[in-house]
Chains A and B, each alone.
Chain A
Amino acid sequence: MDLDKRMTLKDAVAKYIQDGDTVYYGGFQIMVPMALTHEIIRQKKRHLTTIESSTDVGGLDILVGAGCVTEIHSAWIMNWYVKAPYAIRRAFNKGHLKRYDISNFGATSALIAGFLGIPFIPVKGNIGTDMPKHNPTDIRFVEDPFTGDKTTVVRAWRADVAVIHAQKADRYGNVVSYGTRGVTDEFGAMGSKRGVIVTCEEIVEPEEIRSDPDRVIVPYYKTLAVVHCPYGAHPSACRGYYGLDIRFSQYQGKYERHEELLPEFLNEWVYGCADHAAYIEKYKATFGQEGLDRLKPVLGFKPKLDVDYGYHDPACWKGVPLYSDDRLKAYEEALAAKKGGK
């Protein structure tokens, strides 16, 4: 096997995201695929539907503000640092955006049902509230066939394509994300129909990843494209690489807030940057290297647990007689005599 899936951000989005796609939008409040968000905006993808559990740095807000998304299924969206989802609010008010609200575990369960390849899954939440009233697309009630009780179920969510950010991947597309095991990325990504686009901080050798396969959240066969993209989650955080850029999220949030200003932000920080490296260069030119330096995490928390993935060779049984004892021998002899006697 030697299928190199590395490509540029531009090629990955152009090749694998089509207008009208349902997209699993990765991350939660950290590990948000911001470089992919910007590239989807640059390429003016349209009529996307997004599915995810929660997202919190305004990535989805600018994706909606740029006119790429017309349908959202989610539990929680805002730019936490300005405490509102401004562009989403406006798009909903104008009728440009359909929004399907669900609880966090409702969303996670919907992604798990997609991951499992089953049509729907029971959950305990959502019942009794306004969410099922306004979102029968995702939330319904059925009679439990075993007990007859009224049970809440959520529809399986399966994306056409998943976009995620991770710490490391190899050229084949084995994706390593650690610290939360991806929150819900493992389900959203694996449930996708066509596969996964991943941006990562580092490309590492396949041998390194195979030395620790427990950390892989997406195995290579499911991956469409691997994009080497340092700071690919900025201004959200990437564990072990950089923290949340609260000041930049607040800055972006001020633009999200005003309909007239948001296009200026997009022109300058998205359309005006050829790729994510150019965006980071612009960041340094605007806020200084010290802006990036402030995001450096506190490190020194490498696993102390000694783990060895060694295996056992069954060749050692060759020539070893079967284990037995006097009781088993006597029983087996008696059984044979009985059969012989008939």
Chain B
Amino acid sequence: MTAPTFKLTELMAIRCAKEINDGEVVFVGVGLPLVVAGFAMVSHAKNMVMFTEGGAIRATAAPGLAITVDDPCLFTNADASFGMLSTMAALQRGEVDVAFIGGAQIDKFGNINSTGAGDWSKRESFTYFAGSGGANDMATSGKRVLAIMPQDKKKFVEKVEYLTTPGFLGGPGEREKLGMIGGGPDCVVSTMGVYRFDEDTKEMYLAEYFPGQTVEKIKAACAWDLKVSPNVIETPSPTEEELAIIRGIDPTNFYLG
């Protein structure tokens, strides 16, 4: 039997879905998280509760591929749709288990930048991205943060140029000092591997590398001196069945292209 061929974006999505436990309340951000959440809901996490910024609360996967977080299909046969107020308020009440976000740039403490590149104060050279969206609220108050983003050296940086969404900020204890109710980053899944955060230093480290990747290649695609778990493992390749599910969710490769 030959192993199935797959794209790294497909493995990224499938591996990331496994970080969601059945029954959890997951606040699903824009982009790749929408595909991953759909995968989780039809595979191992059938009792997952899906929240979106647009205000949909769902017990079932959306009937179509959601392009945005207030995509009409997210509200078709939803369990509730009160608008952004309802899902964001649940975050502040501490009811969200997983804050699931993408981002443009992440640093070694899991802080995320989706506002722009460069020094904001020097306005003529600052390159604006979209802004925080709901990621800041999600990462502040969700019990744990799950992040997914393609990897390269410009995206995995030592320190984000603009801190939009809090990870562990400058290090241990800083979130607690500011009264944040959420526990901060727990896991990051990229196109190269899986990362977790050291309990003491709060620094991101490599826990798994994807098939075809090596620790050396991954370290080279990371702008700081990335620490590697002594127990680092190779992520298992996806099964045919898993690939069929993910390809069924995004048949035109809108997200996974």
Contacts and interface: CB of A to CB of B under 8 A. Distances in A.
Interface of A: 28-30, 53-54, 56, 74-78, 80, 84-85, 88-89, 92-95, 99, 101-106, 108, 112, 123-131, 134, 149-150, 179-184, 186-187, 237, 239-240, 243-244, 246, 297-298, 301
Contact of B72 (A80, A93, A187, A297): A297
Nearest to A181: B83
A258 to B, nearest CB: 15
22 contacts: A29-B68, A29-B70, A30-B70, A56-B68, A75-B133, A89-B128, A93-B124, A101-B131, A103-B132, A103-B137, A106-B132, A106-B137, A123-B137, A124-B180, A125-B140, A127-B140, A129-B164, A150-B179, A179-B81, A181-B55, A187-B85, A239-B75
Given A92-B128, A124-B141, A183-B54, A29 B71 contact: yes
B43 interface: no
A103 B53 CA distance: 12
Contacts of A239: 72, 75
Contact of A182 (B68, B83, B125, B162): B83
B42 interface: no
Contacts of B55: 180-181, 183
A127 B132 CA distance: 13
Contacts of B129: 78, 84-85
A85 B132 CA distance: 13
B134 interface: yes
Nearest 3 pairs of A and B residues by beta carbon: A29-B68, A103-B136, A104-B134
Contacts of B128: 85, 88-89, 92, 99
Interface string B33-69: 0000000000000000000011110000001100111
Contacts, number: 179
Given A93-B126, A104-B134, A124-B141, 6 more contacts: A29-B54, A30-B68, A108-B84, A125-B140, A126-B136, A243-B72
B147 interface: no
Interface of B: 30, 53-56, 63-64, 67-72, 75-77, 81-85, 88, 91-92, 115, 120-121, 123-137, 140-141, 162-166, 169, 174-175, 178-181
Nearest to B128: A89
A247 to B, nearest CB: 12
A104 B140 contact: no
A321 B121 CA distance: 77
Q: For chain B, what secondary structure do more than half of its interface residues adopt (helix, strand, loop), or is it mixed?
A: loop
B120 A130 contact: yes
Contacts of A244: 67-68, 71
A78 B133 CA distance: 11
Contact of B163 (A129, A184, A237): A129
B68 A128 contact: no
B134 A75 contact: yes
B123 A95 contact: yes
B83 to A, nearest CB: 4
A34 B127 CA distance: 25
